[in-house]
Structure 1
Amino acid sequence: MQQLSAWMGAGLVTAGVSAAMLAGAGVAAADTPSGSDAGTSSASTNEPKPTTHEPAETKAPTEEAAEENSAKPAATTKRKKKTRVVETREPATTTAGTTADPEPPAEKPAHRRRATAATATVAVTAAPAAKESVAQKVSAYAAPLAAAGATATPKAPAVVGLIQSVVAGVAREVRVIINGVSTVTAAAVHAVQVVATGPIPKSPAGLFQHFVYTPVHTVAEAWIGTELGHQVNGTINRLAGSYVIGDGAAGTAEHPDGGAGGWLFGDGGAGWTSTVAGQAGGAGGRAGLVGDGGMGGAGGAGAAGGQGGTGGQLMGIGGGGGQGGAATTGGAGGAGGDGAGLLFGIGGAGGQGGDGVDGGRGGNGGDGARLLGSGGDGGDAGDSGVGGDPTGLPALGGAGGNAGLLGTHGEVGHFGASGTVAVTAGGTGLSITGTWITNSDGQVVILHGVNEVYKLAPFEPAASGFSEDDAQFLAANGFNVVRLGVIWAAVEPQPGVYDTEYLASLSQTVQMLADHGIYTLLDMHQDLYSSTFAGEGAPEWATQTGGLPNQNFGFPGSYYLNLAMNHAWTQFWNNAESPTGLGLQDAYAQMWENVASYFSGNTAVIGYDIMNEPFPGFSWLPTLLGSPFFGYQQLTPFYNQVISAIRAVDPTTPVYIEPANPAVSEILDILGFPTSLGTVSDPNTVLAFHDYCGGSSLSALCGYIAKALARGAHNYAAQHRIPAFMNEFGATSAKGDLTKQMRAGDSYLMSWSVWAYTGKGDITTSGTHDGEALVYDPALPPTGDNVNTGNLGILSAPYPQAVSGTPKSWSYADGTFAFSYSTAKADGSGTFAAGAQTTISVPAVQFPNGYQVSVVGGHVVSAANDAKLVIAADDGATAVSVTVTGTAVGATAA
């Protein structure tokens, strides 16, 4: 027995000494540092979290943004947002044992808290109950046996007790191992189930997230949460002398920002949720090489939420932004963290704005990785009118984050409720019914008109001399719409300052046109981005040149060759920060909210053309060569963001969207490629497109080019069940080209507006001022030599203006107009009753000696030779055909 005890004692002494050496090897090394620099700290504080938890529940991945938008109704009220990130989990329990709850976490015992670098010494001395490592435990078990082995004659009961103590310690460690393996195994099984049963995303970024990142992250986080993982990771961190593996600490009132995750693997800690009025929430900690950024903390009353932490440098997901605090003025939601991974990254969702008398803006979604990356969704805005009458316009949702090359753009957040300020119903009388523009009586409305855009300060049509006699001239010649230029630089000359006098001047022009029965389409016009580049559009404060050369190559040459201008466009699509503190696109959307608020309810305004000829910037060459990225992942999300801003104040006025600038899209359209534009989220939308033949050098091909461009627009519109509107064509006095372009639109029964009423003030045109003009100088009466009679003779051709039914076809050649329509309603709800009237424009310039009419299925009810021919359907008629022929000189009109 003495020999046995001596042998056991000697062996256990050796084991105890070895264990003690192992335990003391990294006494000064970092285990779980706190604060934003946790990933590089080398000061030991206390042990990481020891508790075991079940694997985080995951959520099925979202589909791509375009598919989500197509199934989502128009955003007219604030709704609960869907999250973009596939993997969703409770805020990561940090080594402090806290979570990012809305309320401040309860104080934890010292051994459950992470100390900051400044309090490391105190934390170590104040943590007697800290968890021991495996080596320390073995040393503790072995020490009594070693002491016993040193005695010559230990008593048998003591030896038995020592053996029992060793066995119990080993069993305890075995249980730790078993529990750890069990937890990790369960997490792995759960991850496999999610991969096997969840819907399969279509984007490459979504596929990588679904099949690779989510399973890896789920299992790794389950490991970190086990006691075994805590012990092993702690040993690795001490031996390495840095924080290698583990989650970052949660922020505190003293140190609001969450700590960084381990530099190899670990999620960032959640930012502190502020309990102090006016104090922002803490920012989420950044992840390590692999991991998720921490959630931003909620802001105190009236303060902004914290920004989400950045996702892993190799792969990861950005943390969500914190919620803005409610107050008289709600705090803004925090921005989502960027998914900045070299391989893969998803941006975090923006935080929700706080409610208040004036709600807070939603936070922007984080950007995705450059390759396999998708942007995070923008946060919803806070509601206004909470606690009092609002003083401003509804708050807007945050912008979605930018997509990587193989990902999808984030969705815009929903605007906040307006409170007690009534949002005026559009009430224009014109709306969208399938592929038709219709009025309140259900009639199909066809619009023919002109562009009137004055491109020099003060950017008002009146400055060019456009006035009452011009409106009268247009009406007399059958035109019923003007596409009226609006310039951003004039609306918002200084950041956040909106010129209502400018809007009032435009409103006077709108009313003047309405007095003559002419509708207005408001066109936010730009050419060459801004006056900085010899064009017009954006204000100087929103023009970022990057210090690049700004050489004028003319129009449209500068689009391809001016480096400074391309930088400005690229910054716009990146939503780079502007002097307002908002992104450039955010500022543009807010500007449109102010314009739409001003004109909402104006029955003469038939729509808002969001941007004229948007240009991609430095990505123009890939776009020209067929890359769909700009159209689907930049332009379409931009339209959705601006439309949301418009709908915050005007729920019904149609919005007009355009494909990419013809400088990069027209060749592909001519070749028959589909229009590179996604699906916008609002059903009350019109596709606006431009149809130019390319000048005299391509005159022989003009008929083919014009028809191909119109066909491409028609196909997109038919696919998305919206109307197409040819809102620019012409810019020429070549009668053959002008006629071919106009007839291309007519062949698809489209509305159109020709470029231009006048060339006066047109500083960006590839033609001549007189060549593109219908009236040369609006400051003079539109008569005699001041009128381009050749163009007028083509453009004033007869056409149906309001149809009690559905148009089937019309044509005009050799002085004869032929038109047919069914009496079926465009909405499919039945047929128009007998006597329902249809109006046709037949101006005197086309029939100077009057006209004769032949009708099948209806009869004439207007006066002879009236400039507006009115046909009433006969009883029981399902189709009506009308033929109008000019009366020969000396003959009697019928």
Structure 2
Amino acid sequence: MSSRRTPTVSARMLTVLTAAAALVLGCWSPAIAGAAPGSSPDTPAGIADTGRWLTDAEGRVLITSGVNMVAKRPPYAPDALGFGDDDAGFLADNGFDSVRLGVIWKAIEPQPGIYDDAYLARIKGTVETLARHGISSLIDMHQDLANERFQGEGMPDWAVLDDKIPAVPKLGFTFNQFTMPALLTTYDNFLDNRPGPGGVGVQDRFAAAWAHTAGFFRGTPGVMGYDLFNEPWPGSSYPACLLGVCRSANERLTDLHHRVARAIRTQDPNTTLFYEPFSLSNTGLPPNPGTAGDPNEALSFHDYCTLAALGSGSAGSAGSPGTVCNPFDSAVFANAEAHSRATGSGLLLTEFGATDDESVLASIVDRAAQNRVGWQYWAYCGCDDPTTQDLAGQALVLDPAKPPTGDNVRWSKVRTLAVPHPRLIAGTPESYGFDRASSTLRVRYSTARADGRGSFGAGSMTTVAMPQIEYPTGYTVNVIGAEVVSAPNSPVLQVRSAAGAQRVTLVATPA
């Protein structure tokens, strides 16, 4: 479910961040001109899981803010929709530094064991375009409702094992996954790795397609990770999962993650693997999958405001102004943190939004900051999405085939999302947040390394996204424990740690 647009039957059931130390160190510095230019940095290299954090090759903590871009109609490629260099520039100009970039299994493997490298080359071209603007790509194997037969997208037609059950009733997204026996059977057979064409398990085919894809992208600059399978569904076990009795289904999902991880590692030994829980966790149910069984892995989780959607009668608008997300929404972050503590996996909120309700968007962005978790908004565009109820409502840019300017941009929504935030931290974040009323950013971090192996020394660089849309007349920075080295009013603020600093605090306000 990449766009949570219509409340589901299950949703109705469920929906019941110190001055004294600085004086000692002598490290208080106002914003000054420095050596670093005010341009977007290179995409961070070597993204890895370091406990609950994502880190770059230097060990700095990565806090990303980004968007989703998934082409769900043939030929399943963003460039076919017009997504290109101007869109990447638009994202970078507004402080976005990652894109969860969808690929579709049906396009990768149109026939069993036959892979379309021309399709993968198109996706790679988009990765390279984004990387030129300092934007990382999370390669997302996307699906919703499995296949077009069920009013969705994802699996190749030949991989649909529905036991020849009629695909009825066709009630659209997301109702079909609760009410359509053929779809539930397809998910059951996929999770069970039932033999398909050539007597090969359909899940084995999926893992092999992932291995081929990972081999194609191995070493490509700008790839931050692989999202193994978007919003898996427990098939006919979903009623038991709603009641918290989901062990068998979770075990099958864990087997899927392990099988895909092993296949990927035959071709790419390093890129971070992102695994997802069943999409029932989007509304607050505990995510209880096992991990991908890999040393370099992270939980990809989603958060949608179900009660707010119910209150408005449309998930596209997801509530009236001033509404907050459902009572289970805060549990989404708490559950993710608990999962990370139990498994050591990193965390990334890879979907939320799909709405024009800016109060809902602000609440989740601000909650992510409180929880020190990066995020990726759904979605960059509506783009004829077959699994949404509000194509325009979910979009930042209405039509990527046109320039991202003027009326083609939802500017108010962009400002709600394009908040200043730390991007790469030479240390461990303790707290950060943006006060929307005063346009004040506060950041505090320890210079201790996230992996626990000592601290960052003097001269270590931290970068902070400072979108001009929030600071049109510029900004002023006061920092303790470091000095500003970027040019005045740079869209990417850079600070350099001072000798002996154990903690850095930063406050940015409008000029």
Say whether the fold is shared (TM-score over 0.5).
Answer: yes
State the partner residue of 1:529. 146
Relative to structure 1, is the Cα distance of residues 485 and 863 closer, same or farther in structure 2, using a 3 angstrom cutoff? same
- Give how far 1:514 is off: 0.5
Alpha carbons 1:707, 1:741 under 8 Å: kept: no
Q: 2:183 aligns with which of 562, 565, 580?
A: 565
CA distance in 1, matches of 2:340, 2:452: 18
Alpha carbons 2:366, 2:434 under 8 Å: kept: no
CA distance in 1, matches of 2:151, 2:214: 28
Alpha carbons 1:873, 1:880 under 8 Å: kept: yes
**Following superposition of structure 1 onto structure 2, how do residues 653-664 of structure 1 map, counting pairs within 5 Å?**
653-662=271-280
1:776 aligns with 2:398: yes
**Letter paired with 2:471:** F
**Following superposition of structure 1 onto structure 2, how do residues 664-813 of structure 1 map, counting pairs within 5 Å?**
665-667=281-283, 669=285, 674-694=286-306, 695-698=308-311, 699=319, 700-702=323-325, 704-765=327-388, 767-813=389-435
1:638 aligns with 2:256: yes
Alpha carbons 1:703, 1:740 under 8 Å: kept: no
**Following superposition of structure 1 onto structure 2, how do residues 369-380 of structure 1 map, counting pairs within 5 Å?**
none
Helix, strand or coil at the partner of 2:407? helix
Identity between Structure 1 and Structure 2 (%): 41
CA distance in 2, matches of 1:883, 1:631: 47
- Give how far 1:835 is off: 1.9
Helix, strand or coil at the partner of 2:137? strand
1:866 aligns with 2:483: no
- Give how far 1:433 is off: 1.3
State the partner residue of 2:458. 834
Alpha carbons 1:631, 1:676 under 8 Å: kept: no
Alpha carbons 1:429, 1:603 under 8 Å: kept: no
- Give how far 1:667 is off: 4.9
- Give how far 1:631 is off: 4.6
State the partner residue of 2:505. 881
Relative to structure 1, is the Cα distance of residues 602 and 428 closer, same or farther in structure 2, using a 3 angstrom cutoff? farther
CA distance in 1, matches of 2:233, 2:248: 9
Q: 2:267 aligns with which of 649, 656, 667?
A: 649
State the partner residue of 1:501. 118
Structure 1 stretches (4+) deviating beyond 3 angstroms? 665-668, 698-701
1:595 aligns with 2:208: no
State the partner residue of 1:395. none
Helix, strand or coil at the partner of 1:869? strand
CA distance in 1, matches of 2:270, 2:210: 15
**Following superposition of structure 1 onto structure 2, how do residues 216-365 of structure 1 map, counting pairs within 5 Å?**
none
CA distance in 2, matches of 1:475, 1:509: 14
What's the CA shift string for 1:545-572, capped at 9, x where partnerless?
A: 2122212111100001111111111111
CA distance in 1, matches of 2:398, 2:248: 38
Alpha carbons 1:431, 1:684 under 8 Å: kept: yes
Alpha carbons 2:143, 2:155 under 8 Å: kept: yes
1:554 aligns with 2:169: no
Alpha carbons 2:194, 2:201 under 8 Å: kept: yes
Q: Can you give the 5+ residue segments of structure 2 that lack an aligned partner in the other structure?
A: 1-43, 312-318
CA distance in 2, matches of 1:545, 1:533: 10
Alpha carbons 1:759, 1:769 under 8 Å: kept: yes
Q: Can you give the 5+ residue segments of structure 1 that lack an aligned partner in the other structure?
A: 1-426, 888-894
CA distance in 1, matches of 2:486, 2:274: 34
Larger fraction in strand: 2
CA distance in 1, matches of 2:298, 2:187: 24
CA distance in 2, matches of 1:667, 1:802: 30
**Letter paired with 1:437:** L
Higher relative contact order, structure no. (Cα contacts within 8 Å, ≥ 6 residues apart): 2
What's the CA shift string for 1:83-132, capped at 9, x where partnerless?
A: xxxxxxxxxxxxxxxxxxxxxxxxxxxxxxxxxxxxxxxxxxxxxxxxxx
Helix, strand or coil at the partner of 1:553? coil
Alpha carbons 2:350, 2:375 under 8 Å: kept: yes
1:443 aligns with 2:51: no
- Give how far 1:794 is off: 1.1
Alpha carbons 1:775, 1:786 under 8 Å: kept: yes
Alpha carbons 1:834, 1:874 under 8 Å: kept: yes
Helix, strand or coil at the partner of 2:197? coil
Alpha carbons 1:626, 1:668 under 8 Å: kept: no
TM-score, normalization: structure 1? 0.50
What's the CA shift string for 1:392-412, capped at 9, x where partnerless?
A: xxxxxxxxxxxxxxxxxxxxx
CA RMSD of aligned residues (A): 1.4
**Following superposition of structure 1 onto structure 2, how do residues 8-19 of structure 1 map, counting pairs within 5 Å?**
none
- Give how far 1:581 is off: 2.3
Alpha carbons 2:324, 2:360 under 8 Å: kept: no
State the partner residue of 1:330. none
CA distance in 2, matches of 1:734, 1:579: 46
Relative to structure 1, is the Cα distance of residues 598 and 743 closer, same or farther in structure 2, using a 3 angstrom cutoff? same
CA distance in 2, matches of 1:784, 1:668: 37
CA distance in 1, matches of 2:171, 2:352: 23
Alpha carbons 2:283, 2:332 under 8 Å: kept: no
CA distance in 2, matches of 1:840, 1:711: 26
**Letter paired with 2:502:** T
TM-score, normalization: structure 2? 0.87
State the partner residue of 1:581. 199
Helix, strand or coil at the partner of 1:821? strand
Alpha carbons 2:214, 2:264 under 8 Å: kept: yes
1:850 aligns with 2:463: no
Q: 2:232 aligns with which of 586, 591, 614?
A: 614
CA distance in 2, matches of 1:707, 1:790: 25
CA distance in 2, matches of 1:622, 1:705: 19
1:433 aligns with 2:44: no
CA distance in 1, matches of 2:143, 2:292: 21
Helix, strand or coil at the partner of 1:780? coil
1:477 aligns with 2:89: no
